[in-house]
A and B are shown apart, each in its own frame.
Chain A
Amino acid sequence: MRTGRTHIFLTQDQLRRVLQVFVPTLLFCLLTQWLGLYVASFLLIVGFMRLIGRIALWKSLLTAFLFAVIMFVTFDIAFDVIMPKGPLEAAFGY
């Protein structure tokens, strides 16, 4: 797709990088429907940090876990903003 005579809309390299973030986001939205938002966000952050950012596994796991827990406490417990939940939250009684 071209917008000007010489302007290239998207190079292959750029397309690859955009898909690197778009595909995980799409998967995250799909997973949210089955697993609930918090589990899906944990998986998204671990996956993204490990596979695309190549950050150490323990750092990725820790960051994702802390982020998901903080979000859960802030929204579901402190502010009563209810998010989609899945089997894991149900197991804990939420």
Chain B
Amino acid sequence: MEAFGLLLHGFAVLLTWKTLAVMMVGLVLGIFVGVLPGLGGPNGVAILLPLTFTMDPTSAIVMLSCIYWGALFGGAITSILFNIPGEAWSVATTFDGYPMAQQGRAPEALTAAFTSSFIGSLAAVLLITFLAPGIAAFALQFGPPEFFAVYLLTFCSFVGLGREDKHKTIISMTLGLLLAGIGMDTVSGTLRMTFGWNELLRGINFLVAVIGLFGISEILLTMEERLALRGHTASISLGVVLRVWKDLPRYWVTLLRSSAIGCWLGITPGGAIAASFMGYNLAKRFSKDKDSFGKGRIEGVFAPETAAHASGTAALLPMLALGIPGSGTAAILLGGLMVWGLNPGPLLFVEHKDFVWGLIASMYLGNVVGLVLVLTTVPVFAAVLRVPFAAIAPMIVVSCAIGAYAIQNAMFDIWLMLLFGVVGYVFKKIGIPLAPFTLALVLGSRAEDAFRLAMIGAGGDLRVFWSNGLVGSITTLALILLFWPLLGPLCERAARLWRLPRGSRAA
């Protein structure tokens, strides 16, 4: 129960008027960016990051994580009222959420979405509270080979488990790794791929790339598709909230199943999107009345929302304990930690106890406050979507530019952001996923450092990655996952061949 005591200490750090005010501001801003088309979780956090540069790390991370919660809640509003998923993982919420809104049951659907998000993230936060310190303590014994093996596992699981085309994932990841190599080499101190250009000395900043890749490209895409925003209005009364909550215990199996799926897939990198679909599909499969799904069934909102938020939150577990983000937004939070000079990973739990437990406590508080806030202010935020796009688009462009410039005070970064905007737009058009690209960009140099330190330590012998049971099994697992798209069908064929002669003999 050491974790419990530390958690209480975390709450004590948090419960000051200043921190609570920061929390409210973060939540409101977060819901705002979650509702606006063209912004969303990862974007919102990236653009608002500069606001936190002058704060102390604890207030800053509280603000950032609350922006994240807010954006998650906000995404549900657009999915249900406007049939526009704010993020890839709210796609499954539109299946039943939007039909409910069409039937005039929008308040019910919204309450269900917010409540299940709350339950999902609570389950994941509980998991983080009790599991993260243990994992961090275990990881303290890791040397460079172990760390490289874990990074390799992260990269490979994107290829093996992602839903996108395998070759496109690999293209995207390789480009990210290549760009991560630009600038000063941290091991030998020599310059790489700068082509004599001073601006490239610093390397390509991960956050600048994210703002361009997600923010600017989304504006280009929204403009191209000429989104006509036609949504339903909704305001939530206390009666509706209580009615939905009274029915809640009836769906406990769905909620529990979705939370478990979400937690599991959230820790696995690249799993957040899969979680919401899997939650939805399993709820459908186990339901007695399958045909009513997709026509406005409240269970169809509960299942994907719980899973999506559980996975979105659980993605922070590997980020905190190992320094490996499980999702795009977790990667940006990691980028934020590095801006403040904090090095995410197992040492964080030892060296910055206050900070870590403050963050975990803020997850609990932010979640509760966010639920109340979002239930009471839905009409206000739904009205934001009625503002013409021609007014919102330039404001988003300006916010992106401010975000990109503020990170390193460099005009060059604004141009870089524009370039990445075009790259992101083309990638989205031809179906290359952006998440592996951002992950490679943020983890590339760390993975490279770990690899080279391991090589130096072992005198260039690759067998160091199989030198003990732990590192050996992680490396092997990583390689299996990387080649899984090839191995899977092969195993199937082998099994069939093996079964065939036996079957024929029996006949």
Contacts and interface: CB of A to CB of B under 8 A. Distances in A.
Interface of A: 3, 9-10, 14, 17-18, 20-22, 24-26, 28-29, 32-33, 37, 41, 44-45, 47-49, 52-55, 60, 63, 67, 71, 74-75, 79-84
Contact of B418 (A29, A41, A81): A29
A53 B53 contact: no
Contact of B398 (A18, A20, A44, A74): A44
Contacts, number: 101
Interface of B: 50-51, 53-54, 216, 219-220, 223-224, 226, 388-391, 393-395, 397-398, 401-402, 405-406, 409, 411, 414-415, 418, 421-422, 425, 429-431
B402 A75 contact: yes
Contact of B393 (A10, A21, A29): A21
A79 B52 CA distance: 8
Contact of B391 (A10, A29, A55): A55
Contact of A10 (B219, B223, B429): B429
B391 A63 contact: yes
15 contacts: A17-B224, A18-B220, A25-B421, A28-B401, A41-B401, A44-B394, A44-B397, A45-B391, A49-B388, A49-B391, A67-B395, A75-B406, A79-B50, A81-B50, A81-B54
A47 B430 CA distance: 31
Nearest to A44: B394
B388 A32 contact: no
Given A3-B430, A81-B53, A83-B406, A48 B394 contact: yes
Contacts of B391: 45, 49, 53, 55, 60, 63
A53 B226 CA distance: 12
B3 to A, nearest CB: 34
A14 B220 CA distance: 10
A21 to B, nearest CB: 4
Contact of A29 (B53, B226, B414): B414
A48 B402 contact: no
A33 B411 contact: yes
Given A29-B415, A55-B388, 14 more contacts: A21-B397, A25-B216, A25-B397, A25-B418, A26-B418, A32-B401, A37-B398, A37-B401, A45-B395, A45-B398, A53-B390, A55-B391, A67-B395, A82-B409
Contacts of A55: 388, 390-391
Contacts of A52: 390
Contact of B402 (A22, A25, A37, A60): A37
A28 B397 contact: yes
Please provide the 8 A-B residue pairs with the shortest distance between their CB atoms, ordered closest to farther.
A53-B390, A41-B398, A48-B394, A21-B223, A45-B394, A14-B224, A81-B406, A44-B394
B402 to A, nearest CB: 6
Nearest to A53: B390
A17 B394 contact: no
Main secondary structure of the interface of A (DSSP, over half): helix
A33 B421 CA distance: 19
B429 A9 contact: yes
Contacts of B421: 25
Contacts of A33: 411
Nearest to B54: A80
Contacts of A48: 390, 393-394
Nearest to A15: B224
Nearest to B220: A18
A49 B394 CA distance: 8
Contact of B224 (A18, A71, A80, A84): A18
A22 B397 contact: no
The residue among A25, A41, A49 with the most chain B CB atoms within 10 A of its own CB is A25
B390 A37 contact: no
A75 B394 CA distance: 18
A71 B226 CA distance: 28
A55 B54 CA distance: 37
A94 B23 CA distance: 31
Nearest to B225: A14
Given A25-B216, A71-B398, A84 B406 contact: no
B259 to A, nearest CB: 37
A49 B395 CA distance: 10
A53 B391 CA distance: 7
Contacts of A28: 394, 397-398, 401
A73 to B, nearest CB: 13
A32 B54 contact: no
Given A10-B429, A52-B390, A53-B388, A17 B50 contact: no
B325 to A, nearest CB: 25
B418 A84 contact: no
B397 A79 contact: no
A79 B51 contact: yes
Contact of B405 (A49, A60, A80, A84): A84
Contacts of A49: 388, 390-391, 394
A41 B422 CA distance: 20
Contacts of B389: 53
A72 to B, nearest CB: 10
Contact of B401 (A22, A29, A60): A29
Nearest to B397: A25
A82 B219 CA distance: 25
